[in-house]
Amino acid sequence: MTPDSTLTRTIHFPYSGITMFNQPKITFVLSIFQDMASEHAAHLKVSGFDLLEKGYKWVIARYHIRFHSTIKWMDRLTCHTWRTPHKNLYEVREFNVEDHQGDQIVSGSGVWIMVNNDTSRPVRLSRFMTDEMIKTQENKTFDFPDIEEPVAYDFNTTVVPGHQDIDLNQHVNNTVYIGWAIDSIPSNHLKDLSPDSMSVIFHNQAFHGQNISIMTHVSERKQHVVTCHQIVEQTGEKRLAMIEILWNKSE
C-alpha cells in the first residue's frame, strides 16, 4: 500500500451501533474511523503498536464530522479513509462513508499528532516516515472550525474513567469523551434529535481514576439544536476537550 492510497472497507451497520432512539451512535462511527485509520497506518508501518515499541504514540487533536443522511440498522456502508500530512507535524486523515447506491452518508476529518510517550511532546512525522510519505498532498488546506466557549452551562455531570475507557496508550480513548458529552444531555432533549455535525478539540489527556466534569450548554442556531460541552479534570481544573454538536430536530 502506497502513502497516497485509500483504504476501503464495507460493513453492515450493526445493532450495537444504534441508540435507544434508533439513531446512529456517533461514538460507533468514530470507532470505525479510528479502526480504519489504525489499519491504514499499520500498512505503512506507523501504527500505534509500531510507535509504542519505539517509545512514541499517536494522539488525536481534532475531529470534524458531518452526517449527510441517517444510518439505519443493517445498512450496507462502504467506508474510505486516506491521509494528507501537513507541515511534517499533522497527520490529517479524511473519511467518507457511502451507502449501497454510492450516496454520501458521513464525511469527516481528523488530526493525529505523533508524541513522545514520556514527555507528551510532539515530534516531526519524518522521525518515522519516509520523504514520500511526508510529501503526500502536502499542500492541502488545514481548516477546522473553532469552538466558542459558552458564557454559562446548563448541566454538569461527573464521571470517573474506568478500565474499559483506557486504550493501549494508557489514556482515555478519544471516542469516550464524545460518549461522555452525549450522555450529559438529558433524554428529554436528546430523544427528538439526530446528529448533523460535530467538532472536537482535544487539549489534554485523561487517565484512569481521575474525577472528570462534563459541562453542557444547550442552545439553538437557525434550524439546529446546538450542544456545547467542556470536559475538565476536576482537581487541577485542566481542560481536556471542547465538543460542539449540531443536531437536527425531528419533524
119 and 177 part of one domain: no
124 and 177 part of one domain: no
Residues forming beta bridges with residue 90, ordered by sequence position: 86, 113
Query: What mean pLDDT do residues 64-69 have?
Result: 96
Q: Residue 199: is its pLDDT beyond 90? A: yes
Non-local (6+) Cβ contacts of 151 within 8 A are none
What b-and-e string marks burial along 52-70, b requiring 16 or more CB atoms within 10 Å of the CB? Answer: eeeebbbbbbbbbbbbeee
153 and 73 part of one domain: no
Supply the mean pLDDT for the chain.
93
Give the chain's domain count: 2
Condensed to tens digits (0 to 9), the pLDDT of residues 106-161 reads 999 999 999 999 999 999 999 999 888 887 554 456 678 899 999 999 999 999 99
188 and 249 part of one domain: yes
Domain residue limits at 33: 1-138
Domain boundary among 117, 138, 159: 138
| Strand runs labelled E in 210-249 | 212-221, 224-233, 238-249
Q: Residue 229: is its pLDDT beyond 70? A: yes
Q: What is the CATH number of the domain that holds 48?
A: 3.10.129.10
Split at pLDDT 50, 70, 90, the class of 2 is confident
152 and 111 part of one domain: no
What is the per-residue pLDDT for 236? 72
154 and 71 part of one domain: no
- Cβ(79)–Cβ(30) below 8 Å: no
What is the per-residue pLDDT for 138? 46
98 and 69 part of one domain: yes
Concatenated DSSP letters for 89-127?
Answer: TEEEEEEEEE-TTS-EEEEEEEEEEEEETTT--B--GGG
Condensed to tens digits (0 to 9), the pLDDT of residues 23-54 reads 999 999 999 999 999 999 999 999 999 999 99
82 and 151 part of one domain: no
120 and 196 part of one domain: no
Domain boundary among 97, 116, 138: 138
Query: What mean pLDDT do residues 213-232 have?
Result: 96
- Cβ(89)–Cβ(28) below 8 Å: no
pLDDT over 70, % of the chain: 97
Domain boundary among 73, 104, 138: 138
103 and 158 part of one domain: no
Residue scoring higher pLDDT (138 or 216): 216
130 and 153 part of one domain: no
67 and 19 part of one domain: yes
